[in-house]
Chain A
Amino acid sequence: GQNIDQPTEMTATEGAIVQINCTYQTSGFNGLFWYQQHAGEAPTFLSYNVLDGLEEKGRFSSFLSRSKGYSYLLLKELQMKDSASYLCAVFLTILTGGGNKLTFGTGTQLKVEL
């Protein structure tokens, strides 16, 4: 089956750097997404990695190692508004029947404190 793991909760200080890890064991891997979700709202896209390496986008960076089944999201210069749930999601090719689907990890609730 598919297995995607993230820490449940993390706390960090405003202005600091935080790294949220995601490990996965899946078949039909076709890329990895990171989303941010505030309570009661839909997820918003942060990053997409399909090749190994680091993708940087402003204060957010995402890393992928396909051989290790591992990704992380790095948030720099933390702000209070970054307090949210961060979801790792693996884009999978459906091996029987075709098509693709997104399978979400458990989500990490990040709390940014003063």
Chain B
Amino acid sequence: GAVVSQHPSRVICKSGTSVKIECRSLDFQATTMFWYRQFPKQSLMLMATSNEGSKATYEQGVEKDKFLINHASLTLSTLTVTSAHPEDSSFYICSALDSITSYEQYFGPGTRLTVT
């Protein structure tokens, strides 16, 4: 089946620094990728929809200047958490939408971010 990778799988950073998370579709093209955040014992919350070659669409309440998304190619989207704070500590998961079927989403393994 289709594979989506995320890097890094875990990251610890200091408050005030920025962290970049990469999401790659390894064997298919994805014009659309999604970024989710999940706090402990809660469901996935959609943060933004990343479209290749255009600006990301952010969900209500998500600061676009804090969570920078770049989808520069059909296989790579990046999420940069800028000026991270302890409350940004969470599990960040990306998914990639198969361009051919337009409904199958493949999830990455997630990135555990801890801000100290």
Does residue B46 face the partner (Cβ distance < 8 Å to A)? yes
**By the criterion CB–CB under 8 Å, are A43 and B44 in contact?**
yes
Known: A48-B103, A99-B32. A42 touches B43 (CB 8 A): no
Does residue A26 face the partner (Cβ distance < 8 Å to B)? no
CB under 8 Å from chain B, chain A span 34-71: 40-45, 48, 50
**By the criterion CB–CB under 8 Å, are B103 and A41 in contact?**
no
Does residue A104 face the partner (Cβ distance < 8 Å to B)? yes
**By the criterion CB–CB under 8 Å, are B103 and A91 in contact?**
yes
For the complex, give the distance between the alpha carbons of A50 and B110 in Å. Answer: 27
Size class of the contact patch on chain B: 20 to 34
For the complex, give the distance between the alpha carbons of A41 and B103 in Å. Answer: 22
Q: Is the interface of A mostly helix, strand, loop or mixed?
A: strand
Q: In the complex, how many angstroms separate the beta carbon of B18 from the nearest chain A beta carbon?
A: 24
Known: A40-B112, A42-B109. A99 touches B103 (CB 8 A): no
Closest chain B residue to A4 by CB distance? B43
Please report A residues at the B interface, Cβ cutoff 8 Å.
30-31, 33, 40-45, 48, 50, 87, 91, 94, 97, 99-107, 109
Between-chain CB contacts (< 8 Å), 7 pairs: A31-B103, A48-B104, A87-B44, A101-B46, A102-B46, A104-B46, A107-B43
Please report B residues at the A interface, Cβ cutoff 8 Å.
32, 34, 36, 41-46, 49, 51, 57, 91, 93, 95, 97, 102-105, 107-110, 112
Q: Which 3 A-B pairs have the closest CB atoms?
A: A42-B107, A107-B43, A104-B44
